[in-house]
Amino acid sequence: MGKKTTHKFKAEVSQLLDILVHSLYTNKEIFLRELISNASDALEKVRFLTTAQGGQDDTPLEIRIEADKDAKTVTVTDTGVGMTRDELMKNIGTIAHSGTAELTKMATEGKESLDTLIGRFGVGFYSVYMVADEVEVTTRSIEPGAKPMVWTSDGKTDYKLQELEEDGVARGTRIVVRLKDDLAGQFANAAHLKSIIKKHSNFINFPIHVDGERVNTVTALWREPKFQITSEQYAEFYKFLTYDAEDPLDTLHTSVDAPVQFNALMFIPKAGDDPFGMNRENRGLDLYVRRVLIEKQNKDLLPEYLGFIKGVVDTEDLPLNISRETLQDNLLLRKISSTLVKQALDNLEKIARDDADRYAEFWRAHGTLFKAGYMDFLNKDKFARLVRFNSSASENAEGLTSFANYLSRAREGQKEIYYAYGPSREALGLSPHLEVFRKKGIEVLYLFEPIDEFVMDALRDFDGHALVAAEHADMATLDGFENLERDQEAAPLSDDQKTTLDRLLARIKEALGESVTEVRVSRRLSGSPVCLANPDGNVTSSMDKIMRVISKDTSIPKKVLEVNPDHALVRNMLTIFEQDADDPFIGQAANQLFESALLLEGYLTDPHALVGRVQDLLTKSSGWYVDSRK
Ligand SMILES: Nc1ncnc2c1ncn2[C@@H]1O[C@H](COP(=O)(O)OP(=O)(O)OP(=O)(O)O)[C@@H](O)[C@H]1O
């Protein structure tokens, strides 16, 4: 026997152990799921090494579990790859996977309850310390000449390692869990262990025996004929695969023979991960070749925007000895991938067609991630049919509309699909840029997320109808539609007044100087006196904002000030200007209108001048009001 050495846990491990030991998490049974899942991974590795890489192996690949009431132990033994001394130290002693590190971080930040966190993350090997006083791991690696090792720890501050004599220790890992006194009755009980396995580990690809009796029966569900599988079985498999507590929103089971053979079982979860957050890596389908797991969560089978889909793919056509490194360039895999993408999109179209409520549920959970599909040019048309937006025709911010729905409501002769970006439905409802659309009863799609605009830019049109930003709408085209809403029409300007208006606009430009590129009459406004428009028709203001953030440009962009000559305020300015072209009110009002417009567009950085002016104007007007009531 080798010398026993003592090693301190890495700080993160101690921290996690401390959290687990002190947690009141009630679902402690998941420790068994975690140990079985590790055993299964170790067995998959053996199967991969032997079948895929042509090695030799006679040992049956299986997991054996024994419960001992008297000794208060549960023992989990597998014939998997085992661990060398170095692997033991690295894998259980130092944080092994990102999930546990994330869990520790979030638990210490205290934002979410520990119970939710433990339930949501696979806490891995360390979860055993929720039920154990002490754990002993005896393992022998598959590596030729590897020495068997024993690892023991009470899960507090350190662990002990010892090398064993070679004889009598088979390849694989045996984990003896010494249960806490109060939990021994519950877990050192074969019947209870069996029920836990049925619940969490029924689909493990290797036989699991409890006290000599085989417990799990179902394997490779995706290879079974569809008509033999119940929806409960699908749901059970989904939960096994994802640890989700809820049933899936949708299940798609397919079998394809040409151009390449494969079976796939794909699920859409009810809830979405935060696509840009910590779960970003938690995507991909498990890839099997003839039931041998080649890669968990393969990232090449489905593009990132379909990353919400969970499931497995199993093919007969790839060689078993394919290396994970060369998968990416494999032509067959690419064919499988393009077929899967098509199936997934067709399936979404089917849901959208048959069950709008379910599609809306899908969209709310996964729409944000799905929208990144604008980059998938090969499937552009399908994508365009699947994408949804809120719109001015929706009843509230929850409403969703497709391009096709929009067109079905479009005004006769309307060739364009209009859209506008804004922070909220309320803000867009008040936007001066959309006044003309409201007046003419032309629907506008509402974009709330920056990615929406990239979607519009990439698609450019739908079914021959150009996608046009409302702020870039061609006024002559809009003039072709009759007004549905009648404003209180302002009296038409006389020829003299028109000339004065031109001079007034020149005076406003003079007052604003280089802050604006131009001051001109607007045709898009009805309720507002002014708005800011883009001088060049290329990018929308929101896209301009995104570009400015990227290039760290904090200057205020130069825009065109559009003036509504029918607005009462502008008419008053005209009267004042007619009487005295040098009246200081004109400059004051011009600046006030300009800064208010900047404020609405989100560009005003210093509100002091604006506030000062408002106070001055209020003081004066209240004075007149008081006088007029005397
Ligand atoms: N029975 C086992 N046989 C061989 N190696 C094992 C066994 N159990 C654990 N390991 C090793 O220890 C590592 C850490 O295990 P742990 O359960 O903490 O995380 P993980 O399995 O990597 O992550 P996850 O639980 O998310 O799959 C494993 O990746 C594996 O390398």
Question: Does 81 sit in the ligand 1 pocket, CB within 6 Å?
Answer: yes
Crossing angle between the packed helical segments 584-601 and 568-579, to the nearest 10 degrees: 150
Residues 171-207 have pLDDT tens digits of 999 999 999 999 999 999 999 999 999 888 888 889 9
Query: Sorting pLDDT into bands at 50, 70 and 90, what band is 218?
Result: low
- From 30, 33, 38, 159, the mutation candidate for ligand 1 (largest count of ligand atoms within 8 A of CB) is 38
Residue 6: per-residue pLDDT = 95
- Judged against a pLDDT cut of 70, whether residue 317 lies above it is answered with yes
pLDDT of res. 124: 83
* Contact (CB, 8 A) for 586 and 507: yes
Pairing of strands 444-447, 417-421: parallel
Q: Ligand 1: which of 91, 121, 127 to mutate, most ligand atoms within 8 Å of CB?
A: 91
- The class that CATH gives domain 388-480 is alpha beta
36 Cβ inside 6 Å of ligand 1 = no
pTM over 0.90: no
Indicate if ligand 1 lies below 6 Å from the C-beta of 124: yes
Peptide bond into 450 cis (omega under 30): no
Where do you find CATH 3.40.50.11260 in the chain? Answer: 388-480
Parts of the chain belonging to CATH 1.20.120.790: 495-534+551-628
Question: So what CATH class is 495-534+551-628?
Answer: mainly alpha
Using CA positions, which residue lies closest to atom 22 of ligand 1?
Answer: 97
* Chain segment 482-531, per-residue pLDDT in tens: 888 766 677 889 999 999 999 999 999 999 999 999 999 998 888 899 99
Strands across the sheet with 292-298, in order?
250-256, 262-268, 310-315, 285-289, 292-298
- The answer to whether the CB of 93 falls within 8 A of the CB of 117 is no
**Global ipTM:** 0.97
pLDDT at 274: 61
**Secondary structure string (H, E, C) spanning 143-161:** CCCCCCEEEEECCCCEEEE
CB distance 134 to 158 below 8 Å: no
Q: Spell out the SS3 assignment of 492-544.
A: CCCHHHHHHHHHHHHHHHHHHHHHEEEEEECCCCCCCCEEEECCCCCCCHHHH
Q: Flag whether pLDDT at 87 surpasses 80.
A: yes
Q: Cα of 186 to ligand 1 centre, how many Å?
A: 25
Task: Give 287: exposed, middle or buried? Use CB within 10 Å, 0-12, 13-18, 19+.
Answer: buried
Q: Tell me the C-alpha distance between 336 and 217, whole Å.
A: 29
Sole residue written with tokens 């005397």: 630
Give the CATH class of 13-213.
alpha beta
Ligand 1 centroid–CA 43 distance in Å is 12
Query: Mean pLDDT lowest for which of 22-36, 273-287, 360-374?
Result: 273-287
Of 491, 560, 495, 498, which Cα lies nearest the Cα of 524? Answer: 560
| Cβ–ligand 1 contact at 314 (below 6 Å) | no
CA of 88 to the centre of ligand 1 (A): 10
Q: 123: number of CA atoms within 13 Å, CB side? A: 32
CATH architecture of 221-357: 2-Layer Sandwich (3.30)
Structural element, H or E, at residue 142:
none
